[in-house]
Amino acid sequence: MSIVIHEVSHGFMAEYFGDKTARYAGRLTLNPLKHLDLFGSVLLPAILVISNTPFLFGWAKPVPYNPDNLSNRKWGTIAVAAAGVLANFSIAILFGIIIRLTSGLAMPADFYFITSIIVMVNLALGIFNLVPIPPLDGSKILFSFLPSSFSRAMVFLEQYSFFFIIIFIIYFSGFLFPILSYSFSLLTSLAF
């Protein structure tokens, strides 16, 4: 559901800036079935679980939007990209507050397990999506600030984005762990 909320947030922000593409496509809904991607939401996660990999990875279908329809293309693109990340961080903060407020209460053990996972997943989604590799949100934010002379580099990165993401996950995702761990402890006062 965190991925669904992330994607729907993109669509609502695009609509705020004047693009109704997501609404016309029926994608401004929290119904997870509308956002399933056969490979990214089902097959790849299943393969990773069956093969006992140390990480789980997947995605939902991106909510469509047309940057040409945005009332302000530069700031609209930045806002649309940031909306998903901010949605994930907001969910993490909300559940972090819930964990902190209930820490002195006798809650079932499953409560802390589930709320901790919600915080962790949303922090991971938010942090990972800030990586500036297409099609991640960080790339859209970064590319919006770069001059047009970087357009060839952007096209190259977009063409081979899947490979760059796989390379990043395999070799460099460990660099995100300290950020995730610190953020989790900061929000929940629990050890990661």
What are 152-191's pLDDT values in tens digits? 888 888 888 888 888 888 888 888 889 999 999 999 988 7
Mean pLDDT for the chain overall: 90
Q: Structure pTM?
A: 0.89
pLDDT for residue 129: 93
The C-alpha atoms of residue 63 and residue 7 are separated, in whole angstroms, by 6
Q: What angle do CA 46, 49, 172 make, to 5 degrees?
A: 105
Rg (the chain; Cα; Å): 18
Per the annotation, the verdict on 158 as an active-site residue is no
Range(s) of the domain holding residue 49: 2-188
pLDDT for residue 137: 94
CB-count exposure of residue 5 (10 Å: 0-12, 13-18, 19+): middle
DSSP 150: G
Q: Are 154 and 161 in contact (CB under 8 A)?
A: no
Catalytic residue among 7, 118, 184, 188: 7
Q: How many CB atoms lie within 10 A of CB 53?
A: 10
Residue ranges in the chain whose pLDDT is less than 70: none
pLDDT for residue 179: 93
| Domains in the chain, number | 1
Helix axes 73-101, 109-129, angle to 10 degrees: 160
